[in-house]
Amino acid sequence: MTTLQASLRARYGDAAPAIASEGRAGLAMLEQLLVHRSVRSYLPQALPDGALEAMVAAAQSASTSSNLQVWSLVAVEDPERKNRLADWCGGQEHVRAAPLFLVWVADLSRLDRVAAHQQAPADGNHYIEQFLVAAIDASLAAQNAVVAAEAQGLGTVYIGGLRNRADLVARELRLPAHAFPLFGLCVGVPDPDRPASVKPRLAQSVVLHREVYADAASGTEAAAVDGYDAIMREFQAREGMALAGWSGPAAKRVAGPQSLSGRDRLRDYLGAQGFELR
């Protein structure tokens, strides 16, 4: 079994697609992407010199809508500040432990200032479209940064819990109006004594639609999800986790506002940061 085949099997189990590798360029990058895993245990040491700057260079090399570059990044290393952020993220200990915690910001404030300098209005920043552009730009940039971190031997994990109390995060980081903390990213040298594993994903038949969206009533999706539940239970057994599968926890996560960990108040948090979302 080739490295590529092994990586595909780790990601999909028996549902792994067949991807021809002979004579194809760029396989090293594909293999690196396939072995991505969330790392929550880090050695107590700082990042190598230039590691953050390399991540930012990769982030700024991602696509950006109309070259607007409507995102910013706050790098947090101060232990006391990380402790506060960890508390607001639901008490996630890896936020405290990571030597570097990055906060990715949807930032329209810079365009407000640019427009003011040009003596021009910036009313477009009050519309949902511009907030979406900023959120998408930041997400594309962050994933490039993750790939760059992993290429340097570092580990990362995204922290969506940053939005649990986005109001407190924005105040802590002194974000201006029209700047919103989207998510966090822990970065550090992985602890070899607590290795992370590749987590399986849904079969491609569930997420890949050709030409038009597939008929969900056909039963194909349900069968594939049942298969994925079985794969996830095998993964959970290997990792010493509760054998919950995937579909049960996923359904609980969307059950109602009580399952959103405070993020049901996001509209209020966005309004407090000056986003009208017309």
pTM value is 0.95
Cα separation, 81 vs 78, whole angstroms: 5
pLDDT single digits (tens) 156-200: 999 999 999 999 999 999 999 999 999 999 999 999 999 999 999
Q: Using alpha carbons, list the distances in angstroms from residue 5 to 12, 21, 26, 140, 196.
A: 10, 9, 15, 27, 20
Q: Which of 104, 99, 82, 96 is nearest to 48 (CA)?
A: 99
Is the confidence at residue 39, as pLDDT, over 70?
A: yes
Position with higher pLDDT, 31 vs 55: 55
pLDDT single digits (tens) 42-96: 999 999 999 999 999 999 999 999 999 999 999 999 999 999 999 999 999 999 9
Given this model, what pLDDT does residue 104 score? 98
Domain residue spans of the chain: 1-35, 37-199+263-272, 204-236
Given this model, what pLDDT does residue 218 score? 81
Q: Model confidence at 247, in pLDDT bands (50, 70, 90)?
A: very high
Q: How far is CA 85 from the centre of its chain?
A: 17
pLDDT single digits (tens) 229-245: 999 999 999 999 999 99
> In sequence order, which residues have a C-beta less than 8 Å from that of residue 221 and are 6 or more positions away?
205, 206, 214
In the chain, % of residues over pLDDT 70: 99
Q: Which CATH superfamily is domain 37-199+263-272 in?
A: NADH Oxidase (3.40.109.10)
Q: How many CB atoms lie within 10 A of CB 232?
A: 23
Contact by Cβ (8 Å): 126, 276? yes
Given this model, what pLDDT does residue 23 score? 64
Q: What is the mean pLDDT of residues 199-213?
A: 94
Cα-based torsion angle of the residue sequence 58, 64, 67, 73 in order, rounded to the nearest 10 degrees? -60
